[in-house]
Amino acid sequence: MPRQRLGTAGEEQVSRGKRKREVANRMKRVDFSAVEEARNRRLEALENDNYAAEQEALLLEGEEEYNPGIESEDEMAGRKRNSRPRKRKQRRRQRGQKDSRLDGLKTGIEKWNKPTQLAVEEENLSARPKSMVSLLQMVVSPSSRPPRYFCSTCGYSAPYTCTRCFTRFCSVRCNLVHQETRCLKFTV
């Protein structure tokens, strides 16, 4: 966040002129590709579970990450809840040994964890069997109808376009709200 960086107490005096210049540059740079980028980022954000943000917050707090080995191990189907193995595990951990039973259980399945986007990007398409379709071949092409435009503030039909970021708005009132909140002043 440039605003935060520039706003630190000690630098303020010195960097006021610099700040003006930086902000001006940023505002100048909002062109069509930046708008496109912001839109894609927003669409991508709509696919998020809350989990990503949650994890970030957790890490900041210094709490441990989700570790299925200890709790869910008891929940394995058919496994009895008793304290013996846990004690054994504790002792082993104290001695710095690995719990081989736990390792066997994990079978390293978490090594396969990978975001779908990444897996799709990394994929070598020529290595796929012929009869196995790839995601890229399944994409629906754009609509034949012209796009409709709706006000980013209130959701109704929007005849006007923000001069700075190409977002649509319907009235002066909505435009004011838009400029105060969503307008792409500091993105890029």
Partner 1 sequence: MAASRTTVIVDNGGNEIKATKLSASDVLSIKSDGKIPAPLCVPNALARPAKNAIQPPPDKVGKSRRPPKYLVGREILIAPDTSGMSFRRPIDHGFISLWDAQRDIWNSVFSKDKGVGISPSDIQSSSFVVTEQLGVPMHMRRAMDELVFESFGFHEYAPTPPQRLAALGAGRQTCVVLDSGFSFTTAVPVVNGMELPYCAKRLKVGGKLLTNYLRETITYRSWNMTDETSVVNAVKERLCYISMSYMRELAATKKGKGITKAYVLPDLTRSVFDPVGHVLQEGEETDGTEQLLKMNNERIAIPEILFSPSDIGLKQGGIAETIFQAVESCPEEVRADLYENIVLTGGNCLFRNFKERVDVELRPLVDSVYDVNTTLEESPTLTAINGGIRAVVEDSDSLKFVTKEVFSELGSDGILRELYGDEMETG
Chain residues binding partner 1 by CB under 8 A are 39, 42-43, 45-51, 54, 66, 68, 71-72, 75-78, 105-107, 109-110, 112-117, 119-120, 122-124, 127-135, 137-145, 147-148, 150, 153-157, 181-182
Among 169, 172, 168, 167, CA closest to 187: 167
In the bound state with partner 1, the residue whose beta carbon lies nearer, of 5 and 79, is 79
In a 13 Å sphere around the CA of 149, the CA atoms on its Cβ side amount to 11
CA dist., res. 27 & res. 36, Å (int): 16
In the bound state with partner 1, the residue whose beta carbon lies nearer, of 24 and 52, is 52
In the bound state with partner 1, the residue whose beta carbon lies nearer, of 13 and 113, is 113
User: In the numeric block, which tokens belong to residue 50?
Assistant: 């809350």
- CB of 1 vs partner 1, minimal distance in Å: 19
- CB of 160 vs partner 1, minimal distance in Å: 16
CA dist., res. 164 & res. 182, Å (int): 11
In the bound state with partner 1, the residue whose beta carbon lies nearer, of 11 and 186, is 186
- CB of 154 vs partner 1, minimal distance in Å: 8
| The dihedral sign for the CA sequence 130, 135, 137, 140 | positive
- What radius of gyration, in Å, describes the C-alpha atoms of the chain? 26
- CB of 101 vs partner 1, minimal distance in Å: 14
User: In the numeric block, which tokens belong to residue 84?
Assistant: 């013996």
In the bound state with partner 1, the residue whose beta carbon lies nearer, of 96 and 147, is 147
- CB of 139 vs partner 1, minimal distance in Å: 6
CA dist., res. 45 & res. 54, Å (int): 14
